[in-house]
Copies of this chain bind each other. A is one copy, B any other.
């Protein structure tokens, strides 16, 4: 079956002109949706992701309901970690918990490699189902980046300050770089398998890397990111980078061989442009605004769109994930507003 795919999102990601500004929301599939919450009462996150039909349903639901221009595969950034030897459990109200955290060079050496077809077939089956049969918009595949994954692997769970991670990085640089290499290899294999299965755009989440200053980012992180993006470039799909609280690293990201710089809500688009970020940008409505009255949302959305549309290469999104308390009607209304407002402005 061949379907006509809405390619507005891909064009914007490649920096081309579009008739309107494409929209998706980080965590669009998740706890803000009542249908998802009902499923979540019966199944854990890992149980959902292991059932391709169910996982595809969760993935495409918000696209159909909100008329968004891209779907994002429903899964956790922890998904590939068991394959390389980490005992991950997602605990309700806490997040990912790892029973065998990395504490030494020996622990790093023990980490295995991922073989996506064998280790995470359900991820690839979900992608095939969605892209071959169900979706009429591009599917965004994704992976966690080495720093962010390492932070869970070293801390043993979510952290506020990542100080164990940083202590390991500063104290055991040899082990750190081997760890980055291994997580870089994993990211590359995992993402290439997603692309082969049908994902037509990739977002790399380095959610917590903003905890590092730029000097440490350049020394401890940038080399592996350079390698990951260089390798993924061969696949010819747009590559998006995102992390929260990472405005001070946005210029570093722009320098990497990637296509889209994701911005959180703290770096105004016009400021990013003034800093020399000429690539496509994605973002960046303050996610808590979706809990405000509509007039406030509309006003701020207009400001962001006006900044974003100043040059081709702009994707609308929030500056971070959708909060559970956000009403689906609000997201639906927002997507319609972004489409209409931008179509009118871009037609001029």
Which residues of chain B have C-beta atoms less than 8 A from A215's C-beta? 268
| Interface assignment of A265: CB less than 8 Å from any CB of chain B | yes
Question: What range describes how many residues of A lie at the interface?
Answer: 20 to 34
Which residues of chain B have C-beta atoms less than 8 A from A291's C-beta? 163, 166-167, 170-171
| Interface core residue of A212, A213, A268 (most chain B CB under 10 Å) | A213
The interface stretch among A54-62, A198-206, A282-290 is A282-290
| Interface assignment of A245: CB less than 8 Å from any CB of chain B | yes
Bound-state Cα–Cα, A113 to B59, Å: 51
| Interface assignment of A161: CB less than 8 Å from any CB of chain B | yes
Interface residues of A in 191-217 (CB under 8 A from B): 210, 212-216
Q: A213-B265, A248-B266, A286-B213 are in contact. Are A296 and B170 (CB under 8 A)?
A: yes
- Report how many copies the assembly holds: 2
Question: A239-276 toward B: CB 8 Å interface, digit per residue (1/0)?
Answer: 00000010110000000000000000111100000000
Bound-state Cα–Cα, A170 to B288, Å: 9
| CB of A258 to closest CB in B, whole Å | 22
| Chain B minimum-CB-distance residue to A286 | B213
| Interface core residue of A163, A214, A296, A320 (most chain B CB under 10 Å) | A163
Contact surface of A with B, Cβ cutoff 8 Å: 161-163, 166-167, 170-171, 210, 212-216, 245, 247-248, 265-268, 286-289, 291-293, 296, 320, 323, 325
Can you pick out 13 interface pairs between chain A and chain B where the beta carbons lie within 8 Å of each other?
Answer: A161-B320, A161-B323, A166-B289, A167-B288, A170-B289, A170-B291, A170-B296, A171-B292, A212-B266, A213-B265, A214-B266, A215-B268, A247-B247
